[in-house]
Amino acid sequence: MKRFLTWIILVVAAGSIAANWLPPKTAKDEFDFAQFGKIPMLVGGRVKPLDTVARNSLLIIHGKQELRLEGGKRLSAMQWFTDVLFNAPVADQYPAFVVQNAEVLGLFGWEQSDRKYFSFGEFAPFLKQIDEQGAQSDKLEAVQRSAYQSAILNLRNGLALYQRLKNSIQPEDAQNFAAELQTFMKSVPGAAKAARNFEMGESFDKAKLNDVAQLVQRYERLSEMAYVLAVPPLEGSGDWHSVGDSLLHSIGTGEIHPVVVEYAIIGDAYRANDQSLFNENLDRMTNWFAQEQPNATKRTSFEFLFNRLQPFSQSMTLYVLAFLLACASWLGWSQALRRSAFYLLLLALAIHTFGLVSRMYLQERPPVTNLYSSAIFIGWGAVIVALILERIFRDGIGAACAGAIGFVTLIIAHHLAGSGDTLEMLQAVLDTNIWLATHVVAITTGYSAMFLAGMLAMIYIVRGVFTRSLTKQTADSLARMTYGVVCFATLFSFVGTVLGGIWADQSWGRFWGWDPKENGAVLIVLWCAIILHARWGGFIRQRGLMIMAIFGNVVTSFSWFGVNMLGVGLHSYGFMQKAFPWLVGFMLSQFALMCAAAMPLERWRSFSTSSTSTQQARPRIAPAPSAG
Amino acid sequence: MMRKLIDLITSLKLTITCLAAGMALIFAGTLAQVHLGIHEAQQRYFQSFFVWWPQEGRGFKIPIFPGGHLIGAVLLINLIAAHAKRFRWTWRKLGIHLTHAGLIVMLAGGLFTDLFSVESHMRLARGDTKNYSEDMRRTELAVIDTSGDDLDQVTAIPDTVLRHNRVIDHSSLLFRIVVRNFYQNSRLRMLKDAGEGAQPIANQGPGAMIAVEPAPRATAADERDVPSAAIEILPKDGGSLGTWLVSDALGAPQTFACGGRIWMVTLRPARYYKPYSVTLQKFTHEKYAGTEIPKNFSSKVTLIDPERSVNRDALIYMNHPLRYRGETFYQAGFQPDDSATILQVVRNPSFIAPYVACVIVAAGLLVQFGFHLVGFSRQRRSAIA
């Protein structure tokens, strides 16, 4: 059994992953949402598949990438989005908007109950009120807003986004849009003639002119509302336009863009519940894109795959599993469990790497461009270093660290993704791949190493204080690992910080500006320097090193998140009110561990003399190594 | 006694104390930025010898913590002294020596930059030519004698003098200037809008119709103070011409006649004149399609330097500054309607120090930790074998 355990675990894990990667099949008589989701469109400055726009919009409005209807039926983001685009009256009844704030509900005279999702239809009578209230809190800085003000602003932004989405591809009240477009194109020449006659003072056909004038107004409104630019340039490189813009443009050219026509037919087919017409025209549109926009199509197909696979949530599951296996390996069946943990981690790392590299390909950028990607990268770096430690020491400690840090950082990333597209375009000052690839990567690698050192120290203290499993040998190797990782952190944090200074000097002539994020980085460097000097000077030994490494977690989390919450300076991208209690909780837990570690050694379960463990197993305090 | 002192200033304990104090200071200084703004917090915590309490004048103040300059200086002395005392050349210590030598360069460079670097701004609308940049934090009272045929003679009085010297008597002026009020930051309002009881502080020029309210110092990064003052002109042959309001918020200079000449007076950001001029040809502000996210800003300028017979075009854009005659021009900002570009002009004689220091320290750390790693893996190998 023991011999095969590793393989059984690995095969089960790999099998469940592989099952996820198989493409789902669409039946002939269903709308082909998978195909529709790959259609490219330009939103937020980036060409992305419709599926991404659907997921991000639902995430912003609903907080999740899936919508559950009353009665338990689930709608995927694509299903919801297609209704929003083509069948607004139906979409208006979906309970998509999340409101939990009692004061906001009170605004509408509703009592807080167990219901937190509401439909657009329910808010429709209050739109003006919501807009006014939201506009008031929009004037405040994020830091100054009360919970009510944040909630009402969120609701207002969600409703605004929703209304723009409804009017992105066609007017929300469109009935037979393809026919409407045909009438429009047919009447344009006549109307143009009437307009000329009107200008010349001759008799003109007033009815013709009025018809078109009404439609032009309708499309102008459409062009103002549009959230997505769905119409690609006809020549390879040019600007993307919204459907409304494109239609207004058609007045001059006399031709409607083929993509606009296809969208109109597809929308009509969807409303008429005609699956085969929908799929047929979707194929035509897909082929058109493949021919006219081959690069965009390649990229959006890949992004669609990336969205479907959700590599980070898959590796998250594997990380937890590996962490549990590694911890279990300290209790029994150690070799087999440890080895399974190691191989599971390799699998998780491979999927994690796939996700990271995919993001780099999609964005054409170095790995870290915002807070979300920093979490992904910190986890990735820490897992690699921890796996190297595991390979050297083979005692399950590296594996446990890898599993824990991989899991926690990906969870953090998951919660940072709530604000929409995580592959957003970069502000002008960040638009430099050299500095993103050096400064940002070095800094985040430094964070990884600091967290890894802290994790090692946590294992030392938890095992030492609360269990009897910390033998002298384990304690010594933990101390060596922690020391080595702190050295590694020092190198990367220092180089990263100074590179940041050089970037600043290159872009605004100030090597050091005392910006909060810069200060956070230098705090890490100083703390590393203190740890190393205290150790070289013999002021601390094993336990002191561990306590200081845990405080390193506090310093690093302040630098990573805390400074962003101050809302000052050039790096304050993304203020996260919600994360504040978590950050404080994390810091408090670290202080608690430090206090536990500061108890006299006799109180540590692993070292207590009253225990039955032999004198041999008790770690003697190692002499400090010389400064050399 | 002497020996004890030497032991103290070369001790590792002092190093660690300084580093820990530095951490505490940086932490406190970072939190203080929320209320004070980056610039003010920087001055109080980092560019000072002591942090004082209370912060606002209450008649007394006591130092409660060492400031950035003090900690940096002690650390620098400690570093140099420790190495002077214990320096022994061995290959094994190469990494440590390199690291600390680099840190000395960095700390010294930082101090040098603090003392000698000058930051200013140049705001250019399209087609504008300027041969000076303006200091956004300092103000000057410019008194211009326009009687010359082709040259105006400018007497610039810095704000430090305005704040303290109540009477200004300069040989190039035919009058004395008495500073009646000086506001570091103020808000100007038309008298009729200012409400009951508002009094003008001047009786000449537009200032006679304006009320001045003192305002707290600006703290946000994108705000600046609007200094204002009331000045009385006293001709040296006796009498008074009246009191003028001068303010950064008033656009054009005000004129008056004295001693048969026409004078202009204005309170403006302090200027640094240059032996060359910069002309803005074009400012470009690109956004990503369908968004308000800025993609790039760039300013195409012409640089004309008669002394060195330079006349060339240059493009200044994000992360690509123009360096010329010891000064560096950066794309710093723009007018909200894209009508003008704002270039940051920096003169920093020690800008090279961090570059050198970074290379030395990184090399030192690599060597040092490389030794550790090699030693460690050798140990492991022999342990396994």
DSSP A397-455: HHHHHHHHHHHHHHHHHHHHGGGS-SSPPPPGGG--HHHIIIIIHHHHHHHHHHHHHHH
This complex has an ipTM of 0.83
Is residue B248 in a domain? yes
Return d(Cα B234, Cα B41) in angstroms, integer.
40
pLDDT reported for residue B107: 86
Is residue B261 domain-resident? yes
Instruction: Give the pLDDT of residue A22.
Output: 80
Q: Kindly state whether B344 is in contact with chain A, defined as any CB-CB distance less than 8 angstroms.
A: yes
Same domain (yes/no): B280, B255: no
Give the nearest chain B residue to A625 (CA atoms): B372
Q: How far is A70 from chain B (nearest CA, A)?
A: 36
Domain match, B159 and B258 both: yes
**Inter-chain CB proximity B22 and A526 less than 8 Å:** yes
Q: Which is more confident, B16 or A624?
A: B16
* Candidates A427, A507, A569; nearest CB to B294: A427
Q: Kindly tell me if the per-residue pLDDT of A505 is higher than 50.
A: yes
If one counts every other C-beta atom within 10 angstroms of the C-beta of residue A127, the result is 14
Complete edge-to-edge strand list for the sheet that includes strand B175-183: B167-169, B175-183, B228-235, B242-247
Burial of B242 (0-12, 13-18, 19+ CB in 10 A): middle
B38 in contact with chain A, both atoms CB, cutoff 8 A = yes
CA-CA-CA-CA torsion sign (A350, A352, A358, A361):
negative
* Cis peptide bond N-terminal to B54, omega within 30: yes
- Residues of A whose CB is below 8 A from B16: 530, 533-534, 537, 539
- Indicate the helix (H) or strand (E) that contains B137: strand B129-145
pLDDT at B385: 55
Instruction: List the beta bridge partners of residue B266.
Output: B142
Average pLDDT over residues A466-494: 90
CB–CB of A503/A521 below 8 Å? Answer: no
Given a contact cutoff of 8 angstroms between Cβ atoms, the answer to whether A240 and A233 are in contact is yes
Indicate if B78 and B100 belong to the same structural domain: no
Q: What residues of chain B lie within 8 A of the CB of A225, using their CB?
A: none
Q: Which of A138-152, A562-576, B226-240, B343-357 has the lowest mean pLDDT?
A: A562-576
Q: Can you count the helices (H) and strands (E) in chain A?
A: 25, 6
Determine which of A54-68, A171-185, A462-476, B203-217 has the lowest per-residue pLDDT on average.
Answer: B203-217
Within this chain, do residues B242 and B280 fall inside the same structural domain, yes or no? no
SS3 of residue B87 by DSSP: coil
Q: Band of the pLDDT at A200, cuts 50, 70, 90? A: confident
Query: Does residue B151 fall inside a structural domain?
Result: yes
- The residue in chain B having the minimum alpha-carbon distance to the alpha carbon of residue A431 is B295
Claim to verify: residue B246 and residue B160 sit in the same structural domain: yes
Among A132-141, A390-399, B15-24, the range scoring the smallest mean pLDDT is: A132-141
Q: What is the torsional sign of CA A319, A324, A330, A332?
A: negative
Which residue shows structure tokens 């109080």? B44
Structure tokens at B238: 């006796």
Domain closes at, from B223, B255, B271:
B271
Answer yes or no: do B262 and B293 share one domain. Answer: no
State whether B293 and A627 contact (CB < 8 Å): no
Same domain, yes or no, for B297 and B377?
no
What is the signed CA dihedral for A315, A317, A318, A322, rounded to 10 degrees?
A: 140
Contact across the interface for A498 and B361, Cβ inside 8 Å = yes
> B316 is in which domain, residue-wise?
118-129+273-347
Contact call for A427 and B119, based on CB within 8 A: no
| AA identity, residue A409 | T
pLDDT of residue A361: 92
- Token pair for residue A550? 């845990």
Q: What rounded mean pLDDT belongs to chain A?
A: 86
**pLDDT the model gives residue A19:** 83
Residues 133-162 of B with CB under 8 A from A: none
Residues 6+ apart with CB under 8 A from A396: A326, A327, A329, A330, A334, A337, A338, A341, A390
Specify the 3-state DSSP secondary structure of A364. coil
Q: Are residues B277 and B324 in the same domain?
A: yes
Say which residue the tokens 């336009």 belong to: A241
Same domain, B140 and B125: no
pLDDT digits (tens, 9 = 90+) for A333-345: 778 889 999 999 9
CB atoms A514 and B42 under 8 Å: yes
More confident residue, A484 or A613: A484
- Read off the pLDDT of residues A263-304 as tens digits, 9 standing for 90 and up: 999 999 999 999 999 999 999 999 999 998 898 899 999 999
**Which of B247, B271, B295 is the last residue in one of the domains?**
B271
Chain A residue closest in CA terms to B353: A511
Q: How far apart are the first and last CA of chain A?
A: 49
> Which has the higher per-residue pLDDT, B92 or A341?
A341
Rounded to whole angstroms, how far apart are CA atoms A383 and B200?
69
CB A540 within 8 A of CB A548: yes
Best residue in A510, A533, A540 for a mutation probing chain B (most B CBs within 10 Å): A510
CA dist., res. A80 & res. B281, Å (int): 51
Q: Any chain A CB within 8 A of the CB of B262? A: no
CB B239 within 8 A of CB B196: no
Domain boundaries, chain A: 1-30+310-419, 43-166, 177-300, 433-602
Q: Among the three residues B250, B271, B292, which one is the final residue of a domain in this structure?
A: B271
Domain for residue B249, yes or no?
yes
Is there a domain that residue B111 lies in?
Answer: no
pTM listed for this prediction = 0.85
pLDDT (tens digit, 9 = 90+) per residue, A50-87?
999 999 999 989 888 889 888 888 899 999 999 999 99
Q: Where are the alpha helices (DSSP H) in chain B?
A: 2-9, 12-36, 38-41, 68-86, 94-116, 159-164, 353-384
Is B30 in contact with A520 (Cβ distance < 8 A)? yes
B327-334 and B340-347 beta bridge pairing: antiparallel
Specify whether B299 is located in the same domain as B356.
Answer: no
Alpha helices in A119-175 (DSSP H): 120-123, 127-138, 147-166
Is B311 a member of any domain?
yes
* Any domain includes B4: yes
Between CA A176 and CA A392 the distance in angstroms is 68
Cα dihedral A6, A11, A14, A17 sign: negative
Does B112 map to a domain? Answer: no
| Residue B55: pLDDT band with limits 50, 70, 90 | low
**Whether the predicted pLDDT of A621 surpasses 50:** no
A6/A338 Cα distance (integer angstroms): 9
In chain B, the number of structural domains is 4
**Residues B266 and B184 occupy one common structural domain:** yes
Which residues on chain A are in Cβ contact (under 8 Å) with B288?
44-46, 425
- Give the pLDDT of residue A186: 85
Cα separation, A611 vs A471, in Å, equals: 13
Q: How far apart are alpha carbons A531 and A546 in whole angstroms?
A: 10
**Are B150 and B176 within one domain?**
yes
Q: Provide the pLDDT for residue A445.
A: 95
pLDDT > 90 in chain A, percent: 48
Average pLDDT over residues B114-122: 86
Give per-residue pLDDT as tens, B237-281: 878 888 888 888 887 888 888 888 888 889 888 899 999 999 999
Average confidence score pLDDT of chain B: 85
